[in-house]
Amino acid sequence: MTAMQDILPDLPCDAEGPIFAEPWQAQAFAMTVALHKAGLFTWPEWADALSHAIKHAQAEGDPDHGDTYYHHWLRALESLIIAKCVADEALLHALRDAWDRAADATPHGQPIVLENDPQRAFV
């Protein structure tokens, strides 16, 4: 019935394929699990943030068919990081831009590291 299950019976994946479609989804997932373990938030707090992010996305017109799930997840994580005063929006924004410049300055095929940001000053 599920080819993948027949070929790799020990892997827990299902007919829908890999658990994470892209690496960033896995990273966002793992950060949430790690932060919960570190006690930054409770799971009900997380579920509340995620539910809020989903409603927000729906209000913005996301048909929410499950394929944007990790976008909601990421947004929920950002909102909790800000709510818990780990970082403010400006810092997240500045770091996002720094990574963008770093990627831009990294030759294709080489690992992208933040040190490649030509304007690296605040890290």
Partner 1 sequence: MDGVEKAAQPVHPPSMTHHDHDNDHHDHGHGHHHDHDREHSELSEVALRVRALETILTQKGLVDAAALDAIVETYETKIGPRNGARVVARAWADPAYLARLRDNATAAIAELGYGGRQGEHMQIVENTPDTHNMVVCTLCSCYPWPVLGLPPVWYKSAPYRSRAVIDPRGVLKDFGVTLPETMRIRVWDSTAEMRYLVLPMRPAGTEGWSEEQLAHLVTRDSMIGTGLPLTPGASA
Site for partner 1 in 54-113 (CB under 8 A): 54, 57-58, 60, 62-72, 74-75, 77-78, 81, 86-87, 89, 91-93, 95-100, 103-110, 112
Q: Smallest distance, Å, CB 83 to partner 1?
A: 13
- What residues from 16 to 45 belong to the interface with partner 1 (CB under 8 A)? 16, 18-24, 26-31, 33-36, 38, 40, 43-44
Q: Smallest distance, Å, CB 26 to partner 1?
A: 4
**Per-residue 3-state assignment (H helix, E strand, C coil) for 23-45:** HHHHHHHHHHHHHHHCCCCCHHH
If we measure between CA atoms, which residue out of 21, 50, 24 comes closest to residue 36?
A: 50
CA 13/CA 97 separation, integer angstroms: 35
Find tokens 């909601």 and name the residue: 72
